[in-house]
Structure 1
Amino acid sequence: MEKKILSELTDQELLQEAKKRKSTSITNAFLIGFLVGIVVYSVAKNTWGFLTLIPLFLIYKLVNKSKYDDKELENILKARGLK
């Protein structure tokens, strides 16, 4: 499926995209919490290695991806007066 440019979507499609991204952000929050738990456990057990570094890298990627994607959608929704 081809990814559409957000500015070309209709109002209804934008609202559906906002719902989809909200559920994605909840899933990302759960994953980030789980990965932080792994890091805390690893530090508590004095294990510093891949068990700690991989979750830190994944947390960084999840946070950065969601931050940039959501800003564009939020701006378009405000411009159209939908939110």
Structure 2
Amino acid sequence: MEQNEFSNLTDEQLLQYQKRVKQSNILTAFIIGVLIGVAIYSAVKQGIGFYTFFPLFFVYLLARNGKKQVKINKEINSRNSK
């Protein structure tokens, strides 16, 4: 969702969306932890190679998607300041 789409949501819809994003952030953090663990295990067991960097690529993609929570928080803060 874009910033403009957040401004079209009601306060209740925005809070429900924020709750869903927070729940998905917990799952994302767990997956990132597992992928980093796999990368470390691979580096220790087989040395640095493809299987070390492959999980780290997915960590980057998952971390980049975390910016959605920041946009939602900005919209909620802007509505509370009005």
TM-score (norm 2): 0.86
Which aligned pairs between 1:23-34 and structure 2 lie closer than 5 A?
23-34=23-34
Moved over 6 A (4+): none
Instruction: State the distance in 2 between where 1:56 and 1:50 align.
Output: 10
Deviations 1:24-43 (A, max 9, x none): 10010000000011011011
Percent of pairs identical after alignment?
A: 35
Preserved CA contact (<8 Å) 2:22 2:69? no
Q: Does 1:70 align with 2:69?
A: yes
1:14 is matched with 14
Report SS of the residue matched to 1:9: coil
Q: Greater helix share, 1 or 2?
A: 2
Q: Could you list the runs of 5+ residues in structure 1 that have no partner in the other structure?
A: none
Report SS of the residue matched to 2:48: coil
Across the aligned residues of Structure 1 and Structure 2, the Cα RMSD in angstroms comes to 1.8
TM-score (norm 1): 0.85
Q: Could you list the runs of 5+ residues in structure 2 that have no partner in the other structure?
A: none
Alignment-mate amino acid for residue 40 of structure 1: I
**Cα shift at 1:79:** 1.2
2:80 is matched with 81
When the two structures are aligned, how many residues end up with a matched partner? 79
